[in-house]
Amino acid sequence: MKIIISRTDNLGDVILTLPLAGFFKEQNPENQIIFIGKNYTQAIVENCKFVDKFFAKETLLQNPDWLIQERAEAILFVFPDIEIAQLAKKARIPLRIGTSHRWWHWWYANKRVNFSRKNSDLHEAQLNFKLLQALDMYIEPNFGLIQDWYGLQAPALPENLKNLLSTEKLNIILHPKSKGSAREWHLDSYFALAKHNPDMQFFITGTQSEGDLILSQKPQIFELPNVQNLTGKLNLQELIAFIGAVEGIVACSTGPLHIAAALGKYALGIYPPIRPMHPGRWQPIGKKAKVLVLEKDCSACRKSNTCACIYAISVAEVSQEIAKWQKEA
């Protein structure tokens, strides 16, 4: 069976959708899996051993005949996207599966599943499997199965990046920013974390604009002798490889955190207790993944970019967690 999985949103969302490909391959290794995503997620999908082919949405819109030529038997609109839904109907894909909560799926999808992500207690990776009800294949996978079905593999690390790694210290990525998609731990806390752990080597990652923002808000962090600034210096392929080479990462709810978890690295996420941003929906899933969150119900920061609950996570708590990595290394 040739199956298309369409998830045309953000990096973390795409990573948490990869287990669907692993599930289909486990059901039948002969299943062919095509993944439609945005251009910038291509490196993630192409490093998944369970995906046979990637189509970028941007390219597909310019060459819609590619979808017709593939002759897929089913497509799952994991992320509702009206443009992809239109193309799928035009390509006459026999099974077009989406949620019933999008009006255009009543026109372009011929199999609709009724469920709500917003009010569910399930994790995002588990919610993706709800669409399998339309194929009579639905299961609610536990976190162990999700880990097995990522299929994400780190590419080889280029020599110039390999030379940055310490052979004597624990190598840890700090990813302070999230492009505004998540509540963020304070930069003062990241600075204190690096300053109070001089026996560890830290790397700051992010986009160039995020690096400029950090430089304007907390330039002292780049002056620490055990901190290297990699913001704006890594493409996604290099970032995946670098994450695969270090011991772990500290971040808020971001794509790099989920990459680390999927690769089996230490992944320490700092989260708010606000639903649906809370760990129950978005925590990293991996053998060495863990979250820090205040155990309370709170929505006080819902309409703010700052979060008192995240700021309340202490540097000492995070230091205690990464100290465990050092003992286990």
Q: Which domains does the chain have, with CATH numbers?
A: 2-149 (3.40.50.2000), 164-328 (3.40.50.2000)
Distance from C-alpha of 248 to C-alpha of 258, rounded to nearest angstrom:
11
Would you place residue 275 in the very low, low, confident or very high pLDDT band (cuts 50, 70, 90)? confident
Distance from C-alpha of 192 to C-alpha of 170, rounded to nearest angstrom:
17
Would you place residue 34 in the very low, low, confident or very high pLDDT band (cuts 50, 70, 90)? very high
Residue 295 pLDDT > 90: no
85: helix, strand or coil: helix
Residue 307 pLDDT > 90: no
Distance from C-alpha of 46 to C-alpha of 21, rounded to nearest angstrom:
12
Beta-strand ranges (E) seen in the chain are: 2-6, 32-37, 53-56, 74-77, 95-99, 111-113, 170-175, 200-204, 227-229, 248-251, 266-270, 289-292
Other CB atoms within 10 Å distance of the CB of residue 122? 15
Rg (CA), the chain: 20
Please name the residue that has the structure tokens 């990869």: 18
Residue 298 pLDDT > 80: no
**Span 145-191, pLDDT tens digits:** 999 999 999 999 999 999 999 999 999 999 999 987 788 899 999 99
Q: Residue 73's pLDDT is what?
A: 97
Please name the residue that has the structure tokens 């970019």: 305
Would you place residue 62 in the very low, low, confident or very high pLDDT band (cuts 50, 70, 90)? very high
User: CA quadruple 278, 46, 33, 22: dihedral positive or negative?
Assistant: negative
The mean pLDDT of the chain is 94
Q: Which pTM does this prediction carry?
A: 0.96
> By percentage, how much of the chain surpasses pLDDT 70?
99
Would you place residue 241 in the very low, low, confident or very high pLDDT band (cuts 50, 70, 90)? very high
Distance from C-alpha of 118 to C-alpha of 299, rounded to nearest angstrom:
15
Cβ pair 182, 252 in contact under 8 A = yes
Cα(first)–Cα(last) distance of the chain, in Å? Answer: 43
What's the whole-number mean pLDDT along residues 74-98?
Answer: 97
81 φ, ψ to 5°? -140, 110
